Amino acid sequence: MTLLDQFQLLLKDANWPDWAVYLTPAVAGILLIIVFILTIVIVFIWWERRLLGRFQIRTGPNRCGPEGIFQPIATAIKILLKEDIVPEKADKLIHFMAPVIVFVPILLIFAVIPISAGAILVDLNVGIIYVIAISSISVIGIFMAAWASNNKYSLIAGMRAIAQMVSYELPLVLSLVGVALVAGSFSMIKIVEAQAIPYILLQPLGFMIFFLGCLAEMNRCPFDLLEADSEIVAGYHIEYSGMKFAMFYLGEYGIALAYAGVIATLFLGGWQGPLLPPIVWFLIKVFMIFSVIIWMRATLPRLRVDQLMSFAWKFLLPMAVINMLIIAIEVLVGTVQWLMVILNFGFAALLVLLWSRLFTLGGGRVEV
């Protein structure tokens, strides 16, 4: 029984007309979620720049407001005031629609992320599948942006985008099956409530595959060859400026927040935790995951496109299938949870070691 359902019952008891009873909780919920997203995305932008600076032995921005907290607002104002340039030979309609198609699915994912106990917009009973389905729509938006810019650099980026994002969907989905098997349901709230032991301990291999798959879907280092600054100079959004670029920029942090929320819900136990109120725990977990993402960005170089594809198809996908098999057998036999922890850690270590010996990347060089 989510909070919004309770609100709806309250309105019905207060004898409001039927359409108001239907619409008011929906609109209130949507507005609250949008406020939440915008606030946390602005905090994310600030946190990323400061933390990346500390990893690189420098302070981040600290002039614009105390400790630089107004820096994201200054960035937003700067981007909004820029002139919106569209190349002359670009395909105008597709160029216009692309940022919208990239941005809107990100907002749609937040409908099923539980922020606190019962604070979810709608408790779908196919929650996880909805997340995966909606997040796949952004791919077509990125390719539209790349194609319509009439620019060879962004075309290369667009081709890489489709290859990367489509091929990382598979390990992502398969590792989620393990979570659903243990929890017994696809609904997000039921998965959180079933986590007496957080699933990161129960399925370390599944967590690793899901985390790497999320990094690839977010175009984050080490998989950020879509916007590789040093090679193809900003990739698919090379011809965008002004509000359209702001949509891409916010969309990148929005999807980071969305996936961090999904990981916190599925693997880290959502809002559960001692002492503090549930929403604070949720935010702590989301920020911890985001900090790990920034840490990987500060350290690792990026992969080449054919190495990326080899990694997805030859390393992550077989491990995801084997992981699903192991968890299915354990659930069928009915093992106790602490025994599952030990067994799964053992299997994870064994599989990673074994598969690393067998995994070979391709040569990379083509005879011309």
Partner 1 sequence: MAIRTEPFYLNIGPQHPSTHGVFRLRVMLDGEVVVGLEPIIGYLHRGIEKLAETRTYTQNIPFTDRLDYLSSMTNNLAYCMAVEKVGAIKVPERAEYLRIIFSEIMRISSHMMAVGFFLNDLGAMMTPVLYMWREREKIMDLFEMVCGQRLLYNYMRIGGVSQDLPEAFLPAVKKFLADMPRYIDEYDQLLAQNEILLARSKGVGILPRDMAIAIGASGPVLRASGVKWDIRKMDPYSIYDRFDFEVPTGDCGDCYDRYWVRMLEIRQSVRILEQAIAQIPQKGPVCADVPQFFRPPRGEAYGYVEAPKGNIGFYVVSDGSIAPYRVHIYPPTLINITALQDMVMGWKVADLIIIFGSIDVVLGEIDR
Partner 2 sequence: MKFERYGLGIAKGMALTFMHLFRSPITVQYPDEKLCTAKRIRGNELVWFPDKCTGCATCAKSCPQANIIINTHRGDESKFIVDKFEIDTGRCIFCGLCVESCPYDALAMGLSYECAKYRRGDLVMDKEKLAVSGTHQPSAYFRPQFYDKLPEQSLLLYDKKVGGQKLNFLPFSKRKRGPGA
Closest C-alpha to 142, from 226, 228, 81: 226
Q: Prior bond to 278 cis, omega within 30?
A: no
Integer Cα distance of 353 and 346 in angstroms: 11
Q: Which of residues 305-324 bind partner 2 (CB under 8 A)?
A: 315
Q: Which does 84 bind (CB under 5 to 8 A by kind): partner 1, partner 2, none?
A: none
Sign of the dihedral through C-alpha 166, 168, 171, 176: negative
Tokens 């390719």 correspond to 143
The residue from 225, 255, 257, 316 that contacts partner 1 (CB under 8 A) is 225
Query: How many other CB atoms are found less than 10 A from the CB of residue 135?
Result: 23
38 vs 300 by CB, closer to partner 1:
300
Q: Per CB under 8 A, does 150 bind partner 1?
A: no
Contacts of 79 (CB under 8 A, 6+ apart): 241, 242, 243, 245, 246, 249
Site track 281-320 with partner 1 (rule: CB under 8 A), x = hit: ----------------xxxxxxxxxxx-------------
Integer Cα distance of 355 and 334 in angstroms: 28
Q: How far is the CB of 152 from partner 1 (least distance, A)?
A: 5
Q: How far is the CB of 299 from partner 2 (least distance, A)?
A: 5
Q: Which does 274 bind (CB under 5 to 8 A by kind): partner 1, partner 2, none?
A: none
295 vs 338 by CB, closer to partner 1:
295
Residue 268 zone, left/alpha/beta (φ > 0; ψ -120 to 50; rest): alpha
DSSP 237: G
Q: Per CB under 8 A, does 338 bind partner 2?
A: no
Q: Per CB under 8 A, does 15 bind partner 1?
A: no
- How many residues touch partner 2 (CB under 8 A)? 20
Binding part of the chain for partner 2, among 168-176, 213-221, 247-255, 295-303 by CB under 8 A, reads 295-303
Contacts of 137 (CB under 8 A, 6+ apart): 101, 105
Q: Per CB under 8 A, does 361 bind partner 2?
A: yes
Q: Residues interacting with partner 1, by CB under 8 A?
A: 52, 55-58, 152-153, 156, 159-160, 221-222, 224-225, 228-233, 297-307, 361, 363-368
